[in-house]
Amino acid sequence: MPMSTADAPSANGGDIMKWTDSVFEPREPAGFMRLRNTIFRPCKAIPGLWIAWRRKFSYYSCEQNRRRTRTSTEEDPVKKLRLGIIGTGIAARELHLPALRALKDRFEIVHVASRTPANARRFARMAGGVPWTDDYRELLRNPAVEAVDIVAPISLNLPATRAAVAAGKHVFVEKPLAGNLPDARRMCALARSARTVCYIAENYRHHPVYLRVRDLLRAGTIGRPYAWDWHAWYHMRNDDKYAKTRWRRHNRHIGGLVTDVGVHYIAALRMWFGELEPTAAWVRSVNPVIGDTDTFSMTARAPRGVRGTFSIFFTACGCSDNALTVFGTKGTLSVVWDRITVRIPGKKPRTVTVPDDGGFRGEFAEFHRAVTAGGKFINTFAEGYRDLETMLRALALAGRTAGARSGA
């Protein structure tokens, strides 16, 4: 049976919607064939030819696969990357560590740094009793460390990345890229000159729910999209673990919580619709205890005439809602948390719940591939820059051009 290893374009949305089990283990659509970890589709032009259509466990779009310099399959023996963790706060403990544990065949934590010794010690114990330090420069001098995960207050991103690149380490750094655009540009310059991989940890570009949305939109499931509405309304109490963080409460970075969390949504919107041009925005500080910016709404324009609104509130008392609606010429797609519903006139609405790990495993897996296999990857600093720049342009339209502690 002749086979092509080229990836085929996405199937139509109908087939994608039939996968009610998991994105990680897709069931092959009717007429398709599964061989080990790959699903093949019959070639329409040449009967008898099967074309590789989708890989199990693949977080990649077909485009990214095509661009990769080396095509590795999951069966290849993987090189374990020795990782140093810089910053041991909530995100490191609760978001990164579980993902790294799930990918323990690919990552080994070998050193931990936090300026708070108690935190460093605690995290080092959680990571299996590895060495720890209260000075990340000490970690960077450790020759066993090949790559660092910088998951620290935003203002540390630039100095820590600079030092890590100078020490020849690969860098995986938490979004947002920086707290302001000049620093973000310095980050991009570092990435351009670095001989190591500089990776921005934007998990929404690997988020199973939002990748599924991307696939459905690309497959034309709702026709041509012309508008979206996305609102994320949360109630962050004063005693919330994130709200209690000093650098969040007294935010030096522009836009406080709104920027810190908002760049995720911008990243997803850019993935679906292309570059956004903010056209209007407003901003409020309803509860100054949780930072100088907690309420934000923007409208933006995307290529091909797509328009939409994105709003993020951290002060929606008693309310918790995350709802995206995309309007297309043939139907409407809505996402409420991890539940995607497609409505097409005259048909029964179809709903799929996508198992959702937040995209953390996906981003670490991509970072590992970028370091060990080389080639292109999605989460470049340039992408992180565009997420942040879009967010800050919208905030500027709303008159927010400085952080609370920046003295500007």
> Binding to a copy of itself by residue 305, rule CB under 8 A?
yes
Q: Report the amino acid identity of residue 112.
A: V
- Binding of a copy of itself by 226 (CB under 8 A): yes
Question: By CB under 8 A, is residue 332 in contact with a copy of itself?
Answer: yes
Alpha-carbon 79 to chain mean position: 23
Of 10, 299, 372, 390, the residue at the interface with a copy of itself (CB under 8 A) is 299
Please, are residues 259 and 314 in contact by the beta-carbon 8 Å criterion? no
Q: Which of 244, 307, 339, 393 binds a copy of itself (CB under 8 A)?
A: 307
Considering only 93-101, 305-313, 358-366, 380-388, which stretch makes contact with a copy of itself by CB under 8 A?
Answer: 305-313
Q: Does residue 328 interact with a copy of itself by CB under 8 A?
A: yes
Write the CA distances from 102 to 41, 194, 290, 357, 364, integer angstroms. Answer: 31, 29, 33, 11, 10
Strand order from edge to edge, sheet including 81-86: 132-133, 107-113, 81-86, 147-150, 170-174, 198-201
By the rule CB under 8 A, 240 interacts with a copy of itself:
no
Residue among 310, 302, 321, 322 at smallest CA distance from 217: 302
262 is a contact residue toward a copy of itself (CB under 8 A): no
Which region, judged by CB under 8 A, interacts with a copy of itself, from 27-35, 207-215, 229-237, 352-360? 229-237
Distance of alpha carbon 13 from alpha carbon 102, whole angstroms: 30
329 binds a copy of itself per the rule CB under 8 A: yes
Q: Which residues of 315-343 are buried (b: 16+ CB within 10 A; e: fewer)?
A: bbeeeeebebbbbbeebbbbbeebebbbb
Q: Which stretch binds a copy of itself (CB under 8 A): 21-29, 211-219, 323-331, 382-390?
A: 323-331
Contact between 266 and 390 (Cβ < 8 Å) = yes
- List the one residue from 231, 244, 393, 405 that touches a copy of itself (CB under 8 A): 231
Question: Is 295 a residue that touches a copy of itself (CB under 8 A)?
Answer: yes
What is the separation of C-alpha 399 from the centre of its chain, rounded to a whole number of angstroms? 27
Binding site for a copy of itself (CB under 8 A): 222-223, 226-227, 229, 231, 233, 235, 237, 279-280, 282, 284, 286, 295, 297, 299, 301, 305, 307, 309, 311, 313, 315-319, 325, 327-332, 334, 343-347, 349
